[in-house]
Structure 1
Amino acid sequence: MIRVGIIGGAGYTAGELIRLLINHPQAEIRFVHSSSNAGNLLTEVHGGLEGETRMRFCAEYDLREVDIVFLCSAHGQSRTWLAEQKLPEELRLIDLAQDFRDESEGFVYGLPEMNRERIRQARRVANPGCFATAIQLALLPLAAAGLLRDEIHVTAITGSTGAGVKPSATTHFSWRASNLSVYKAFTHQHLKEIGRNLQLLEPSFNSEINFVPMRGDFTRGILASVYTSCPLDEAEARQLYADCYATAAFTHAVEHDVDLKQVVNTNKALVQVAKHGSKLHAVSVVDNLLKGASGQAVQNMNLMFGLDEREGLRLKASAF
């Protein structure tokens, strides 16, 4: 059994991670840390775990008792935590914050569709951002083929869980319900990792990525609509994407229109491409808490320990 510890266990991503690991046949959670909830039952914070566990949050933990630690604290805190620790030599880490997505401190960027073999050998993995996952999956086949030659235009919409568990004016039900809004237009923090990885695949790419994120009036899921110039015709483009994702465990290139209900509550990503004049239009959909966060983290854990990528992640979408 893989012995697991979780740091920062009170947020949405930690709740999803706990749900997955409790039902993972090869994993055992040894501790869930939360300074603010120490001593409380996990179910007092994550109500969906009622009947699944009687474990309590802890304030103290022993890293020698686990094989892997998932860092689920807020952005910036993972780097602080790492600097304060004396880690056992064999301990593996997966960071779900953005602290090490530049692959500093020995971390490998954890997008399996891009870095599967590197993840297998890694001891430290930086889980991708949720928007970054959806957008990169829409573009990776083009970048890998050296076909990104123009500006990229992205509009993507996310559910309210993407903003985290802490309440704010823009996550309040009364404001969010029956409402849409743009935020961080052209400045979203995930642009940095997207641009970095596209240039790793296609070093000559130096065009703008024009990203307009939107808040949706639903709880979970991301739909990314991406277009750019492309010399391929539609049949060639669809074949390129099908070939690129033929061996991917969870990402599927499809020819029909995609929607969020096909992927919400699963670790799947669906990508559909079509040609409109000189523009290639790619639409990708993921669950921001699963393939965009905790599900992808478990997928990375599976790779790191030599398991089937799908272990503990064979989840079915709830269509209605």
Structure 2
Amino acid sequence: MIKVGIIGGSGYTGGELIRILLNHPETEIDFVYSTTRAGKPVSSAHQDLLGQTELLFSREVNPNVDVVFLCLGHGNSTKFLEENTFATHTKIIDLSNDFRLKTDSIWNGKNFVYGLPELNRTSIQKAEAIANPGCFASAIQLALLPLSKLGLLANEVHINAVTGSTGAGVGLSSTSHFSWRNNNVSWYKPFTHQHLGEIGESLASFGNPVGKLHFLPNRGNFTRGILATAYTTFDGSLEDAQQLFKDFYSDAAFTYVSEEPIHLKQVVNTNQCHIHLHKHENVLLVTSAIDNLLKGASGQAVQNLNLMFGLEEQTGLQLKAGVF
């Protein structure tokens, strides 16, 4: 069994990670570290796990686990690793943005591989450390990578995406409490969202020109999921576009191209990404949908674990959406 440590297990991504790993046939959770809940049952923070586990939050870290997941706020993973040392064999999967960009990917002798399996599967299989992609970044990259690979993103790309409230984390803010979020939609960080950096690096990795990305993120009045739309000019037919996307994702374990329009309920509570293509005149519209806490965070982190330890990529991740 793969012994797992989780740092920061009381938030949304930590909770999803615990749920997946408790039912993963090849993993055993050794500890769930929390400074604020040490000694309390994990089910005190994640009530749906009552009766599913007797785990307690711990203030102690076992440095000899096989893999450690960092589910900390952005900027805190580096600080934690500076203060805590793990065994040389311990693999690291970081869910923050601390190591995603190339300029930040080498830290203390470790090379953090960008953990998008549809792009970097071979490198992930050999990696000792992973920088798990952001949620918006995952949805948008999966919508655009096939075009980038063939040099079809030289013109401007317009992106609009809406995310559920869990994307803001468990901490309350003026835009995340129920009274404000319910029956409400708004945009934020227009054209400057922090995920643009990692998106741009991935799209440019094929060596082809990439046009300006105009990204408008939105807050939705639902709890989980991301629906992203991106459009740019495209000279080929709709059939051409569908074929190039199907070819690109032919070996993908969780990304599927649908010929029917897609919606969020198809993917919520799963590790899947669904993609749909629509052509209008000379414009190609690409729609992608993911669960921000699974394919956009914890599910993809476990997908990376499977690849790193030589397991079948779908192990522990055969999750079913509830569409009604």
Instruction: Tell me whether the two structures share a fold, i.e. TM-score over 0.5.
Output: yes
Shift of 1:10: 1.0
State which of 205, 216, 223 in structure 2 corresponds to 1:219: 223
1:297 maps to a residue whose letter is A
Aligned to 1:231: 235
Tell me the SS of whatever aligns to 1:184. coil
Where does 1:1-320 land on structure 2 (aligned, <5 Å)?
Answer: 1-64=1-64, 66-103=65-102, 104-105=105-106, 106-205=111-210, 207-320=211-324
Unaligned runs of 5+ residues in structure 1 are none
Shift of 1:87: 2.6
Shift of 1:203: 3.8
Following the alignment from structure 1 to structure 2, what is the Cα–Cα distance between the partners of residues 69 and 86? 11
Give deviations 1:81-116, integer Å, cap 9, x for gaps.
122233311110000000000141210000000000
2:263 maps to a residue whose letter is D
Unaligned runs of 5+ residues in structure 2 are none
Following the alignment from structure 1 to structure 2, what is the Cα–Cα distance between the partners of residues 155 and 168? 23
Give deviations 1:21-63, integer Å, cap 9, x for gaps.
0000000000000001101110101111111111100011221
| Greater than 3 Å deviation, 4+ residue runs | none
Following the alignment from structure 1 to structure 2, what is the Cα–Cα distance between the partners of residues 277 and 30? 56
Report if aligned partners of 1:149, 1:229 keep a CA contact under 8 Å in 2. Answer: no
Tell me the SS of whatever aligns to 1:31. strand
1:16 maps to a residue whose letter is E
Tell me the SS of whatever aligns to 1:257. coil
* RMSD of aligned Cα (Å): 0.8
1:228 maps to a residue whose letter is T
Tell me the SS of whatever aligns to 1:211. strand
Following the alignment from structure 2 to structure 1, what is the Cα–Cα distance between the partners of residues 47 and 236? 49
Give deviations 1:212-238, integer Å, cap 9, x for gaps.
000000000000010011222111000
1:230 maps to a residue whose letter is F
Report if aligned partners of 2:70, 2:77 keep a CA contact under 8 Å in 1. Answer: yes
Following the alignment from structure 2 to structure 1, what is the Cα–Cα distance between the partners of residues 134 and 302? 14
Tell me the SS of whatever aligns to 1:37. coil
**What is the identity percentage for the equivalent residue pairs of Structure 1 and Structure 2?**
55
Shift of 1:202: 3.5
Following the alignment from structure 1 to structure 2, what is the Cα–Cα distance between the partners of residues 181 and 32? 35
Q: How many residues align?
A: 318
Tell me the SS of whatever aligns to 2:205. helix
